Amino acid sequence: MIAALQCVVLDCSDVAKLAHFYRSLLGGTVNQPDRRWSLDDDWATLHTGAGLVLAFQRVAEHRPPRWPDPTRPQQFHLDLGVPDLDAAEREVLAAGATLLDAGDPARGWRVYADPAGHPFCFVRE
């Protein structure tokens, strides 16, 4: 092994808003003190109970992706397991997400965008 994943970093225009959005989905602590990162108006973190760390970096002229438009690619995406797609969808839409692709109900996954426009999927567990 050469390296270990420490966090996934998402570019956005409002680091606090996006950190709190993902906390509403995954739980955890926003801006928990951690020697690896300094926290300021341009950087926020979310330490989840599962041990995953997401970081949010301010980009002044952030251009959100437009899934599935290849001229504005998704840049990253997360697959998040949920036991009930419908219940999870109600909660994530209330938290500020946008449904991008409901697809065929039999396929077991749906595509959303977070408030900064990054796509992510809910996958039935």
Given pLDDT bands bounded at 50, 70 and 90, which one contains residue 5?
A: confident
Looking at the structure, do residues 51 and 86 belong to the same domain, yes or no?
A: no
Give the residue from 119, 8, 116, 121 showing the smallest Cα distance to 63.
116
Does residue 2 have a pLDDT over 80? no
Across 102-124, b (16+ Cβ under 10 Å) vs e yields: eeeeeeebbbbbbbbbbbbbbee
Confidence band, pLDDT 50/70/90 cuts, at residue 32: very high
Look up the domain containing 34 and give its range.
8-58
When divided into structural domains, the chain yields a total of: 2
Residue type, 15: V
Say if 2 falls within a structural domain: no
CATH, residue 112 = 3.10.180.10
Q: Tens digit of pLDDT for each residue in 57-100?
A: 999 999 999 888 989 887 777 889 899 999 999 999 999 999 99
Residue among 53, 95, 103 at smallest CA distance from 78: 53
Look up the pTM and report it. 0.82
Residue 3 lies in a domain: no
State the average pLDDT over residues 93-112: 91
Indicate whether 17 belongs to any domain: yes
